[in-house]
Amino acid sequence: MAKQFPSLTPELKDFIGRQHMFFTASACAEGRINLSPKGLDGFRVTGDNEVVFLNLTGSGNETTILGFIPTLMHHGMVVVGAPYSIQELTDISEFRGGSAYGAGTVAGPDGSRQPSEIELTIARKQGAHVAGIAAKLVK
């Protein structure tokens, strides 16, 4: 049985920081487990109970979210994308992240590229869209 911790200890944070490869997995209650190796220094501890990873390898962000949507729905979650009424989604003036599946950003393995103003605008507008839908659901 796995050992559970109330938060990440300094030793665990150090161990995580030294890893060159890690695995992510998701599964519905019934069906196969999707287990994918990740790497390229894209796993970060961002808090005592929080970690994030960059999906820099594999078949791309759209494939990642499309593969994960059924799992989210299986657990009763509502999935809300970024509608094409967000005009910035059709802006091709720069190489950027974000699609109808949701806001995103393009980042290199060293994290030097920060979200562009267009990517941030898509994220803000998707957030407002999600908030509007959530407000309708609670009525």
Neighbours of 123 (CB within 10 A): 20
- The residue-averaged pLDDT of 54-82 equals 72
CA distance 76 to 82: 20
- The residue ranges of DSSP E strands in the chain, in sequence order, are 21-27, 33-39, 43-47, 50-53
- The residue-averaged pLDDT of 11-36 equals 75
Three-state secondary structure call for residue 111: coil
Burial class (CB within 10 angstroms; exposed 0-12, middle 13-18, buried 19+) of 11: exposed
* The model's pTM: 0.55
81-130 pLDDT, tens digit each: 899 999 999 998 988 888 888 888 877 677 788 899 999 999 999 999 99
Report residue 59's pLDDT band, with 50, 70 and 90 as the boundaries. very low
Place of tokens 């994290």: 111
